[in-house]
Structure 1
C-alpha cells in the first residue's frame, strides 16, 4: 500500500475483525481497529494506492504445500452488478441471475472481476486467493486468464517451489487456448460442454499416398454415445457424496479449431491442441437425486495424470464458490456502490487481504461456537467461526499502521 497506507491497512483490519456482516463502508469506521473518521474510509479507497505486483507476491507466498508434486489453482469470474450506475465508466454486460432484461436474459451492467486462488485438500472449503484482475472493455477472459497463469507460474518458480501448478476452470473458459499456451509448463483442467466434438490422431498415410496428410482422425461427439470409441483408460472410485464414480478417458484427442474468438487473428495454420477427454459418471447426487447425465472434463499438461487425481482436483474447484459467497455475504465485497472501477478494484483487494488474514489466523483463534454448533478443529474451522475471535488475535499482534495525527 503506497498511498493512504495507514487508512487502507486499518480498513482491512476492521473488515476482518467486524463481528457481523458488513452492511456499509462508513459502518467500518465505527470498528475500534479503524482509528479515523468515516471520511477517511472513502478517501482511502478513492485516493489510496495498492502495489498490486507486491501484494500478489505476498499472497502467493502464503500458498501451502501441494500434493503429489502438484499445487492446484482455480480460476473464476465474479461480477459486480452496477445496473443503475449510468455515469460509471467501463461497465460491461455481465451475468446476474437476479436480473432480467426485456427478453428475459439474466444479464445486467457491471464490472467482471477475475480471481485466481490456490486450492486445499481435506475437509475444508478454504482457498488461497493469489491474483485479482478486472476485465475492461478491451480485455478478453482468455487474455486475462493467460496473464494470471503466467504470473502464478513465474511467481512459484521465483520462490523455488518444485511443484508443478495446475489450473482448474469451468466451461466458460477457452480451454484449448489456455492449454495451447501453457501445456508445456502447467496442467489445465476444466469442464467441457456436452455439445463439443473431438478427434483422434489421424492414421499414418498409406505407402505411396500423395497429397497433404490428414490432420484429424476419427471423431467422438460427447452428446452421441454411438461415436465413442474404445476408451484408453477406465477407473472407478467410491465417493461418499456420489456413490460409485466411473471415470472413462480418451487420450490424445483434439478439437477442430476455427478462426474465431481467440484464434481469429492467429498466424499460420491453426494448432493441434491435444489432451485427455474425461467422462465422469456418478451413481447419485448428494441429495439422493438421479444425475441428469455424465460430466465431461478436459486435461492437458506436461504429463499424463491419474484419472482419480483429475476428478478430485475438479471437485475442489467448488471451494472457490464458497469463498465468493463468504466474501460477498459476510465481508460485503459487492455491498458498496463505487463510482469508479478503480475504487471497486481497490476495495476488492482489501477484501482478499482481510480474507487472507482470517485464513492465516486459523491456528491462533479460539472456537467461539454457538450452543448448537459442533466443535471444529482449528485448521478446518470455517471463515465465519475464525472471524469471531480474530479481533483478539489482532490485538495480540498489533498493527504496522501509524495512528492518525491529532
Structure 2
C-alpha cells in the first residue's frame, strides 16, 4: 500500500465536497509529496493544481514532440524527449518564461526573486500511474541580493494539473510561499500539541 494512501483518501473526500466543486483549488506540499504515487492521484481531479517542491537531484524529461513532416512509425509511441537533470545545468534548455520579482524583507533588505519556468515537462511513470499523460510546469526559484549574488540554493517546484496554466509563474510561487506561514503552526503543533506523526499538505482555494 502506498505511504500516501491515507492522505490521498482524505483529499479525495475534500475535493468531492460541494465547497470545492468546479472551483480551481491549489494544493501546496513539500518535497515528500512530489512522488508519482501522490501526485498521480491528485491529477485525477480536474479542478486541482498541485504545487510541490522537489529535491535538486531529480531527473525529468522534455515532452517529445514529433516532427509533423516525419512519417509515423509502427510500434510504441515515443513520449519522453531530452533529459532534464536538475543537478546538471548542461541538460537544461532555455526556460519558456522568466520573471523577476523584487521584494523587501522584514529587516529592509532588498532582494530579487527570479522565477524561471519550463512547460510541458514529464516524469517517468509506472504501471499504476501513466505520468506521460500529465505534463507539468517546472519552476526554478533563485533569490539574489542587490549585488546579484545568489543568497540561497535554488528551489525547484513542479506545478501539475489540467488547469495549471490558469496560474502565472508568479501566482505559483506566491502560493507556495504561503506554506512558510504554515510552518510556524506545524512547529507549534509538534512542540506543544504532540503532532509528530503527520505530514500535511496545504490546500488553498482560488476564487475566479
Question: What TM bracket, shorter-length normalisation?
Answer: 0.7 to 0.9
Offset of 1:325 from its aligned partner? 2.5
CA distance in 2, matches of 1:315, 1:208: 45
Structure having greater relative contact order (Cα 8 Å, sep ≥ 6): 2
Q: Given the superposition, is the C-alpha separation of residues 309 and 161 from structure 1 closer, same or farther in structure 2, using an over 3 Å criterion?
A: same
Offset of 1:161 from its aligned partner? 6.2
Offset of 1:187 from its aligned partner? 0.9
Structure 1: gaps of 5 or more residues: 1-138, 336-343, 349-406
Greater strand proportion: 2
User: How high is the TM-score relative to the length of structure 1?
Assistant: 0.41
Q: Given the superposition, is the C-alpha separation of residues 290 and 237 from structure 1 closer, same or farther in structure 2, using an over 3 Å criterion?
A: closer
Q: Given the superposition, is the C-alpha separation of residues 160 and 148 from structure 1 closer, same or farther in structure 2, using an over 3 Å criterion?
A: closer
Is contact 2:60–2:121 with CA below 8 Å preserved after alignment?
yes
Partner of 2:143: 282
Offset of 1:167 from its aligned partner? 0.7
CA distance in 1, matches of 2:130, 2:72: 27
**Match runs of 1:235-250 below 5 Å:** 235-241=99-105, 243-250=111-118
Structure 2: gaps of 5 or more residues: 199-208
Q: Of the candidates 77, 91, 115, which is equivalent to residue 227 of structure 1?
A: 91
Partner of 1:339: none
Deviations 1:148-207 (A, max 9, x none): 22122122xx24766422111111114433333222220100101111111112131621
Q: Given the superposition, is the C-alpha separation of residues 239 and 181 from structure 1 closer, same or farther in structure 2, using an over 3 Å criterion?
A: same
**Match runs of 1:130-149 below 5 Å:** 140-149=2-11
Is contact 1:142–1:174 with CA below 8 Å preserved after alignment?
no
The structure number with the bigger radius of gyration is: 1
Is contact 1:167–1:186 with CA below 8 Å preserved after alignment?
yes
Partner of 2:39: 179
How many residue pairs match? The answer is 184
Q: Given the superposition, is the C-alpha separation of residues 161 and 240 from structure 1 closer, same or farther in structure 2, using an over 3 Å criterion?
A: farther
